[in-house]
């Protein structure tokens, strides 16, 4: 190709690539094109050949990589675990979305935490196991079979001495033992019919004198104060009566006021010079000295109203009310000569006058408070108006609330009953305060886990005894105090119990005013006494005696159920003797002694308890122990039935020392002596079955001892087996009148009887076969006649086995037929 043709081809290509656009053409020389190509090549090789290849690969598959990158950048995993944006109350869709996402996040968080804890536990378990193996190897290396390798290591033998009759170690600590002694003494007073003591006061005195714990003593003091009200009746529901009785509110206020007076006395004693205490020792002078100590600095009077000679009026009035003395507050107001309407109202309230003029005066003062005093700079003046008028429950009075006691006293002071509420304004009720303490604030607000006594006192002072005791019972250290607090309140008819003993420890009935709860005392006592009922059975029974008034869902006594469960789990001879005593020699059906002997009530005694335990043991197939309990209960019919059932299983066995058969022999001796006096209490067919089985047992005793003739006489006298084929029908008829237990033993009886007949046949035949040919023919005929009689007896036994309406084991039939054939 020459240059002309090359030029023409270049022009043709130029014309083909020329587009009809207004864009100016770009003209580059060959050197410029080469330079641009080199720059593009260097840029691609330096910045990312991989990116270019990725673009080419994904582009060939139809993927737009830049657009995909933008979508990925919009995704952020970090936002999934960020707090959710708040939504308004009316945004239902947003609320549901937030709740769903919260649920998902909580599940993820809980799963992560549980996995981490499980891994952590497994790690430490493996570490401890490895450490244990290493320590074991080291100890084995130090003191092993080659003691001479370590001459300095000396093994010392420690002498130990054990008692001849060791007693189990008590699981009760010192505090629990002191409580248990008081419970035993209290139950003894009830059994003897003497006047019982107040358990709340008794336990409070015990805590004060014997427990080295001031916090526990303080909790008992709170309970004593709150329980010092008019005694309640068992026919009245404690929850409803507590909510409607204002005496519990007054008791709580009085307790807080007395404690605050003690606090003011301590402050004054530490500042006697400033306090200048003097005059008659009353609340009026006490408050004056305390205010003098508290407001001795001039800056402490800033913002206070009615200050005269450095002595503010409203703190004097407030602290007088805080101490529970309305008279001292009225006296301070009268001396100041201010607020005559408030003075008049407080005077009427002090006198207990609630006429229509009082309500009108209250309305005027409430209007004045809402218009002017609501924004008053003197917190004490505002607090006085709020207390006297019982209004504005949402004002927290932050300047005056220095402790939980102050807050609680303020809330109790502004309470109004349902019958005294003014529905025009918002007021606080008793149930509202209880809900505020238990539901709104709760355990986290009061730091209850670390300040257990404080939270208990707050709940108890607001009348929530059940919730306070349940909270106290959660920790092992405080559980003994909680259990005995519940017992003491229940004895005073002040503890709310659920309708069913199967309810949880803390529950609520549908008709209960919220937030009141009910405490399951039965569950609490059982949970407490189960820990030591094996080692301290007597103390455990004393606690179960306190449950005598409770009924289970099936109508049984809760005390009997608890003791029955104890005996079912541990029914040995020692436990039975401890609970029921020993047999009276004069009367075999009377047991003397035993712990339960003193617990007799109209609903239960130890004989009904023995019957209940026997029934439960019989259901669990512990028939030997059930027989003992039935004998104690005097229920011979049930005892005989179980004895018959057991005898039918072991009566054919050879005697062995310590076997069930031997133990049943001792039981039979006791039952024979008892039947001699109370035979009429048992059904006739049961006695017949028992008597026959007793004879069968004697038969097998003789059979195993080799006394075949005496054994055969027992069977013949009881008409159990025939001696001839004519007696088969009669024996079968006799069996039908007996119990099924005899039928179960019949195969063994037939085999034993056949063995006796065959043994006698062999003996007779052997003696006849060895006789002299010169013997007497008469003697031979007698022996032959005896052999025919024995064959007839064998034939009768096989006929009876075939005639009995009971399917004999195949081995029994084969054995009987085999022995009969051998006799021919």
Long-range contacts of 239-245 (CB under 8 A, 24+ apart): 239/496, 239/512, 239/513, 239/516, 239/518, 240/512, 240/513, 242/463, 242/494, 242/496, 242/516, 243/430, 243/431, 243/463, 243/513, 243/516
Cβ-proximal residues to 733 (8 Å cutoff; 6+ apart), any chain: none
Token duo for residue 698: 């004697």
Q: Which pair of tokens denotes residue 247?
A: 């005496």
User: Maximum distance among all alpha carbons in the chain?
Assistant: 166
The full set of domain ranges for the chain reads 179-244+431-529, 257-414, 649-768+779-824
| Dist CA 517 CA 463 (whole Å) | 11
Structure tokens at 505: 């420890």
Residue reference for tokens 């099924």: 740
Residues of the chain whose pLDDT is less than 70? Answer: 1-2, 16-27, 43-53, 55, 61, 65, 72, 75-89, 141-168, 353-354, 417-426, 585-589, 600-603, 679-680, 767-779
Number of CB atoms found within 10 A of residue 286's CB: 22
How far apart, in Å, are the Cα atoms of 634 and each of 582, 589, 590, 591, 592? Answer: 14, 6, 9, 10, 14
Distance of alpha carbon 732 from alpha carbon 804, whole angstroms: 6
3-class secondary structure for 53-106? Answer: HHHHHHHHCCCCHHHHHHHHHHCCHHHHHCCCCCCCCCCHHHHHHHHHHHHHHH
* Distance from C-alpha of 497 to C-alpha of 547, rounded to nearest angstrom: 12
The helix/strand/coil state of 518 is strand
- Phi then psi for 551, rounded to 5 degrees? -120, 140
What's the pLDDT score for residue 771? Answer: 46
Phi, psi angle pair for 295, to nearest 5°: -110, 40
Residue 255: CB partners within 8 Å, gap ≥ 6? 222, 225, 226, 461
Distance CA 528, CA 531 (A): 6
Say whether 313 sits in a helix, a strand or coil: helix
The region that residue 447 occupies, defined by phi over 0 for left and psi between -120 and 50 for alpha, beta otherwise, is: left
| The model's pTM | 0.71
Rg (CA), the chain: 48
362 sits in which H/E element: helix 356-371
Preceding amide of 5 cis, omega within 30: no
Taking only the tens place, the pLDDT of each residue in 238-267 is: 998 888 888 899 999 999 999 999 999 999
Q: What pLDDT shows up at residue 547?
A: 92
The answer to whether 578 and 537 have CB atoms below 8 angstroms apart is yes
């Amino acid at each position: 190709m020459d240059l002309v043709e090359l030029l023409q081809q270049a022009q043709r290509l130029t014309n083909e690539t020329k587009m009809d656009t207004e864009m100016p053409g770009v003209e580059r020389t060959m050197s410029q094109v080469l330079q641009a190509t080199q720059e593009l090549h260097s840029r691609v090789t330096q910045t990312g050949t991989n990116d270019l290849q990725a673009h080419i690969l994904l582009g060939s598959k139809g993927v737009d990589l830049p657009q995909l990158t933008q979508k990925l950048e919009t995704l952020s995993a970090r936002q999934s675990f960020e707090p959710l944006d708040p939504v308004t109350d009316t945004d239902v869709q947003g609320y549901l979305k937030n709740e769903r996402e919260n649920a998902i996040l909580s599940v993820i968080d809980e799963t992560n935490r549980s996995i981490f804890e499980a891994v952590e536990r497994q790690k430490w378990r493996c570490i401890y196991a490895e450490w244990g193996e290493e320590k074991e190897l080291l100890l084995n290396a130090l003191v092993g079979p080659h003691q001479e390798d370590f001459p300095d290591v000396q093994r010392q033998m420690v002498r130990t001495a054990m008692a001849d009759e060791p007693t189990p170690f008590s699981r009760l600590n010192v505090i629990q033992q002191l409580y248990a002694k008081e419970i035993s003494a209290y139950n003894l007073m009830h059994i003897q019919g003497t006047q019982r003591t107040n358990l709340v006061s008794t336990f409070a005195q015990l805590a004060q004198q014997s427990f080295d714990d001031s916090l526990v003593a303080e909790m008992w003091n709170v309970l004593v104060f709150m329980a010092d009200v008019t005694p309640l009746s068992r026919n009245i529901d404690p929850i409803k009566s507590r909510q409607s009785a204002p005496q519990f509110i007054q008791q709580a206020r009085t307790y807080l006021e007395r404690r605050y007076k003690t606090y003011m006395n301590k402050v004054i004693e530490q500042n006697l010079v400033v306090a200048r205490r003097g005059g008659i020792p009353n609340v009026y002078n006490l408050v004056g000295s305390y205010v003098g100590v508290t407001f001795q600095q001039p800056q402490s009077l800033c913002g206070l109203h009615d200050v005269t000679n450095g002595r503010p009026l409203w703190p004097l009035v407030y602290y007088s009310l805080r101490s529970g003395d309305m008279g001292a507050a009225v006296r301070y107001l009268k001396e100041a000569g201010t607020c005559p309407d408030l003075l008049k109202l407080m005077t009427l309230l002090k006198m207990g006058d609630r006429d229509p003029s009082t309500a009108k005066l209250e309305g005027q003062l409430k209007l004045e408070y809402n218009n002017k005093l609501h924004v008053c700079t003197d917190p004490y003046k505002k607090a006085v108006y709020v207390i006297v008028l019982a209004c504005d429950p949402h004002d927290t009075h932050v300047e005056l609330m220095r402790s939980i006691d102050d807050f609680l006293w303020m809330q109790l002071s502004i309470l109004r009953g349902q019958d005294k509420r003014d529905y025009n304004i918002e007021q606080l009720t008793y149930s509202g305060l209880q809900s505020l303490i238990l539901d709104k604030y709760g355990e986290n607000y009061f730091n209850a886990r670390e300040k257990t006594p404080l939270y208990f006192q707050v709940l108890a002072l607001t009348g929530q005894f059940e919730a306070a005791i349940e909270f106290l019972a959660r920790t092992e250290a405080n559980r003994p105090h909680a259990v005995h607090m519940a017992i003491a309140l229940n004895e005073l008819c002040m503890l709310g119990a659920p309708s069913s003993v199967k309810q949880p420890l803390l529950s609520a009935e549908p008709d209960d005013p919220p937030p009141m709860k009910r405490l399951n005392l039965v569950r609490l006592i059982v949970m407490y006494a189960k820990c030591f009922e094996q080692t301290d059975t007597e103390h455990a029974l004393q606690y179960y005696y306190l449950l005598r008034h409770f009924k289970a869902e099936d109508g049984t006594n809760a005390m009997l159920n608890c003791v029955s469960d104890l005996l079912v789990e541990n029914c040995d001879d020692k436990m039975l003797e401890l609970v029921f005593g020993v047999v009276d020699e004069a009367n075999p059906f009377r047991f003397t002694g035993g712990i339960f002997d003193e617990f007799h009530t109209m609903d239960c005694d130890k004989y009904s308890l023995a019957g209940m335990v026997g029934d439960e043991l019989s259901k669990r197939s512990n028939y030997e122990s059930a027989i003992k309990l039935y004998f104690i209960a005097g229920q011979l019919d049930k005892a005989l039935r179980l004895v018959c059932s057991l005898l039918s299983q072991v009566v054919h066995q050879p005697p062995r020392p310590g076997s069930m058969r031997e133990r049943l022999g001792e039981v039979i001796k006791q039952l024979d002596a008892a039947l001699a006096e109370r035979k009429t209490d048992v059904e006739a067919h049961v006695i017949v079955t028992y008597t026959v089985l007793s004879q069968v047992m004697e038969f097998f005793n003789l059979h195993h001892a080799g006394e075949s003739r005496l054994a055969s006489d027992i069977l013949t006298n009881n008409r159990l087996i025939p001696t001839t084929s004519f007696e088969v029908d009669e024996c079968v008829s006799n069996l039908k009148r007996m119990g099924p237990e005899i039928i179960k033993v019949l195969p063994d009886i037939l085999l034993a009887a056949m063995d006796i007949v065959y043994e006698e046949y062999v003996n007779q035949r052997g003696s006849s076969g060895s006789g002299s040919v010169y013997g007497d023919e008469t003697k031979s005929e007698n022996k032959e006649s005896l052999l025919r009689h024995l064959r007839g007896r064998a034939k009768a036994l096989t006929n009876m086995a075939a005639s009995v309406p009971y399917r004999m084991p195949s081995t029994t039939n084969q054995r009987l037929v085999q022995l009969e054939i051998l006799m021919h």
